[in-house]
Amino acid sequence: MSELTNKTSWLHLLNAPGLGFARISKLLELFGDANEIIKQRNFSPELKIPQRAINYLSKASSDDIQQELDWLEKSSNNVLTLDDPLYPPQLRQISDPPILLFLRGDPHVLLLPQLAVVGSRNASQSGLNNAHAFCYDLAKRGLVITSGLAAGIDAQAHQGAIDANGQTIAVMGTGINTIYPRNNQKLAKTIPQQGAVISEFPFNTPPNAHNFPRRNRVIAGLSLGTLVIEAAQKSGTLITARLSMENNRPVMAIPGSIHNPLAKGCHQLIKQGAQLVESAQDILQEVSPNITMLTDQLQASIQNINNETLEKHNQEPTIKLSDSQQHIFNHLDFNPIAFDDIVTLTDLSSAEVASDLLIMELSGLIEKLPGSKYQKI
């Protein structure tokens, strides 16, 4: 079965009315893959497949998804399905992961260590400055900044990573070709050059209010932790924080003035156990254990990815190395060296080293060996 045939089948499953993650998971267990599901003309009543979904699947043709197929012909566009080896393992762990992701940009960036950065759409100037400064610093240190392409904090988080020549991911609450808000059109075109724009929603989905909380679960699911920068006590930002906690991933919040209503959500989170943070280093310390966990998960996943996809030539990475990554690379050679020794030699924190090593591993510059040792390849 060709890759396109598989993606075509998944697109039909996405468009079939009344199907969701739970039903599709049952169908996958029963029939093995999406292509086999599409071939079925009858389903057992025990599966409780809605009749309207059965009607759609029985008549499904390429004409139904021609717009998506045309979109996929562009080199920067892709669809990551739940069975794709490039599907991010940390997102697959949540209770209801998206069955597929439309993606514009580099799919490999979804495998890198990410920090969710969220906050108010109507942020104060101080909040906007913090979002840009923190994300600039964190992107310089190798973390991918993941946010929701909304106005306010989200936009400044993306922009901070871009200005640092780092990487950022925008998770949309609309269809991939429906940019919202319109003021972020330019930003949405820039992000795929330094990361990716993604959406789980069918192609032409408009900005419906009930889709944004679902978008938030993807932001939380992709990330090793969530940083909250300004939030009212009742806001969608706190949904992302709660989802991050439910995924057993750290939540961090920047405190503010007791007189600022947009600081009250952050203060509430801190009272509930979120970590108060004042610097990028505070954040790196919080997510360091999860970076190590993600590295181990990807070590197994990488073996399943097409070698041609990850093949690099002349030791050139897919992204420009940051100063810290180049510093680490300069201390490596073709003899294995232990992780702790790299930390000592480079005088960097364990979190920075773990993140940068993973990025260089995915770029094809280095190899991780048993016993947490690394070498150039």
Tokens of 88: 């991010």
Choose among 149, 116, 135: nearest CA to 226: 116
Taking residues 265-292, what's their average pLDDT?
90
Name 227's bridge partners.
117, 252
pLDDT of 316: 42
Domains of the chain by start residue, with CATH: 1-72 (no CATH), 107-285 (3.40.50.450), 312-376 (1.10.10.10)
> CA 18 to CA 50: how far, in whole Å?
6
What is the pTM assigned to this prediction?
Answer: 0.81
User: For residues 52 and 23, what is the distance between their CA atoms, to the nearest angstrom?
Assistant: 14
Higher pLDDT, 115 or 2: 115
What are the tens digits of pLDDT across the range 287-340? 887 776 676 666 555 555 544 444 433 334 445 677 888 899 999 988 899 888
DSSP codes joined into one string, 106-138? -GGGGGS-EEEEEE-TT--HHHHHHHHHHHHHH
Query: Are the C-beta atoms of residues 334 and 376 closer than 8 Å to each other?
Result: yes
For 145, the enclosing helix (H) or strand (E) is strand 144-147
What mean pLDDT value characterizes the chain?
Answer: 88
